[in-house]
Structure 1
């Protein structure tokens, strides 16, 4: 009987220790959190110096992501993609947030439209500049080819190559300023507060609608302390300016 009681007592002690270890392992290490906070402060100080860099915005977004600030994480991933639309890490992390919080983003379009968006995103500023340079050289080469073509030789190949090169040069040449203009005119904003609400009327709090944190909205109008926005679901509501941060500050 005594042996049975001792065995039960030891079993209870073992189970209690195991439970304590399981709870402790689920607690976030406070030192790790403080390291992320210190790193975030350093990165934000760099940002305050007026430096605009996609990698900097991505690093700030990662710090917010690890600290659980998904609103600010979404904001800085979008800012990184605004400067470099082909920033792979930012797009990957943004897709992770989209899967975890699908109501905060606009629903995806048809496959062909999404494919076109990916192609446009892949064509960031450096790649567009390189393509413009390549097709400019091809146009010059084709013109030189035609000018020095001997009489009687077929003009079809150089004319065809010149036409195609000129067409692509025109497309990429127009894409660069249009892309720069669209980035500057980006009217998107991100909900950064955990409990934000949208209202049907600017000066009324009736009919409030909860807006999830990290929701990407489009600003339609701006008044004193409020924004009229279109939510990912398509609803048009008024929101407090303190609940939002613009993608293009």
Structure 2
């Protein structure tokens, strides 16, 4: 009986993958036929099955964009971007969706050093940096072992230099993976899903409204109190809003 358990798990996993692939193909056909709502249902069934990917979120963003659903389209493009940072196609479609927003929030100016740091750290996701680090460490080990087996001085020098550079780049990749993961954990982005919401100075309905936000605006959740979230927008303004007006991006 024990031997059957791995087989059952394997076939269940294989069946789930096949089912999700069939759903994805069906959703793509529905999208190409202009049946965007049906395509959304098919893509969401894949999410319910426990699978998610940048491609899946990107396609969901496209479906909602075609239906002029500002909040959901931006939400799914942003989720796709979390899994594939700096992807040109995702960034392009996201910018189109952002142009549909009512809020034009200007980001706080950044120094050139801060921009360079963000560009470098966010060039890959933290798991991609980690995979790169592992590959470089393996290359270091192979090059270092090869160094001892080569006979000619020139070949030994090349192997030694390759091992040293692989080790250095591997350590740098580990550091960048850590920095990217730290920034990822400290950042708690969300998208406004309500058509219009008042942001107040305190977490209660009697406090003064400091500014108003509309559907599709991206905020960063700083803290929570009961049903309220303290948020900050790109220009640095902060305030409180009820949590049911927001949808967190990192709810994978």
Does TM, normalized by the shorter one, top 0.5? Answer: yes
Partner of 1:41: 41
RMSD over equivalenced CA pairs, Å = 3.5
Partner of 1:70: 70
**Closer/same/farther in 2, CA of residues 121 and 178 from structure 1, 3 Å limit:** closer
Q: Would you say the 8 A contact 2:148–2:156 is kept in 1?
A: no
Partner of 2:55: 55
Once residues 153 and 72 of structure 1 are traced to their aligned partners in structure 2, the CA distance between those partners, rounded to angstroms, is: 59
Once residues 216 and 159 of structure 2 are traced to their aligned partners in structure 1, the CA distance between those partners, rounded to angstroms, is: 53
Partner of 2:193: 192
Once residues 153 and 248 of structure 2 are traced to their aligned partners in structure 1, the CA distance between those partners, rounded to angstroms, is: 63
**Closer/same/farther in 2, CA of residues 181 and 126 from structure 1, 3 Å limit:** closer
**Closer/same/farther in 2, CA of residues 186 and 146 from structure 1, 3 Å limit:** same
Select between 237-246 and 207-216 the one with higher mean Cα deviation: 207-216
**Closer/same/farther in 2, CA of residues 124 and 228 from structure 1, 3 Å limit:** closer
Select between 105-114 and 35-44 the one with higher mean Cα deviation: 105-114
Once residues 153 and 35 of structure 1 are traced to their aligned partners in structure 2, the CA distance between those partners, rounded to angstroms, is: 63
Alpha-carbon shift at residue 160 of structure 1 (Å): 4.2
For residue 234 of structure 1, give the secondary structure of its aligned residue in structure 2. Answer: coil
Q: Would you say the 8 A contact 1:98–1:105 is kept in 2?
A: no
> What is the TM-score normalised by the length of structure 2?
0.70
| Larger Cα-atom Rg | 1
Once residues 43 and 145 of structure 1 are traced to their aligned partners in structure 2, the CA distance between those partners, rounded to angstroms, is: 48
Alpha-carbon shift at residue 40 of structure 1 (Å): 1.6
Could you tell me which runs of 5 or more consecutive residues in structure 2 were left unpaired when the two chains were aligned.
1-31
Select between 222-231 and 87-96 the one with higher mean Cα deviation: 87-96
Alpha-carbon shift at residue 221 of structure 1 (Å): 1.0
Alpha-carbon shift at residue 123 of structure 1 (Å): 2.3
Alpha-carbon shift at residue 157 of structure 1 (Å): 5.7
- Superposed, 1:65-214 pairs within 5 Å as 65-99=65-99, 101=101, 103-104=104-105, 106=107, 109=110, 113-114=114-115, 116-124=117-125, 128=129, 131-132=132-133, 134-148=135-149, 159-176=160-177, 178-180=179-181, 182-183=183-184, 186-208=187-209, 209-214=211-216
Q: How many pairs align?
A: 218
> What is the TM-score normalised by the length of structure 1?
0.71
Could you tell me which runs of 5 or more consecutive residues in structure 1 were left unpaired when the two chains were aligned.
1-31
